[in-house]
Structure 1
Amino acid sequence: MAIQRIQSVYTVVRDMDKAQVFYERALGLTLKFRDQSRWSQFGVGGSNFALSSVEEAAQGATGTVVVFEADSLDGVRQSVEAAGGKFVSERDMGSHGRVQVFLDAENQIFQVFSRQASA
């Protein structure tokens, strides 16, 4: 496991249309991808900023969540737990990869994503 970059940062929103228009107007962001009312993603520099519905976000997430990208998820859970964090869940997205959800030492949610699909 090696963290390669911040894959994205997302903010949980309740009104996707309203939030998308706000970020387009307020910051001049250009929509890169939208999945109905579940997810809107903007490219910002070499990273992504997204708006997530409550249903699409990590369970219990509110506010903003950082998603780190790793070359693989091998050993991530063990490292996080050894440092005092907690494993919450894992989501397999098939050919899109997998993401693990954790709580850090302050009980803040973060995620680690890998494009590496399940074997």
Structure 2
Amino acid sequence: MRASSHRAHVQCKPYDEHSTRLPTRVGTRDSDSVRLHISHEGEIRRYVTLSYCWGNERPLTTTKDNFQHHTEAVPLLLPKNFSDAKRVARALGVWYLWIDSICIIQDCDMAWNE
């Protein structure tokens, strides 16, 4: 099984931090605050991703109503899994963190296709 599992990934492109384009929106740290960063076409930066099953809880989300505010600052009281992901990213020296509920504008159909 290990051999077939390995073969399934032979064609996967190896990670290259110098050619990894940022998603359309990604969280970033400015000093001690966190904000939503709108990337420009072809912007290359290292980033990590947190994507998970929300379950029954409604996490912190970006909507049309709070989008502009999130580009200035995301609330400092982040859910524990978000703050843990932020801490791990910083420990790895990565300044950009993509979290689905924050980086996808939840009530915008076009944002789901970007």
Shorter-chain TM-score range: under 0.3
Structure possessing the higher relative contact order (Cα contacts under 8 Å, 6 or more residues apart) = 2
TM value normalised by structure 1:
0.24
TM value normalised by structure 2:
0.25
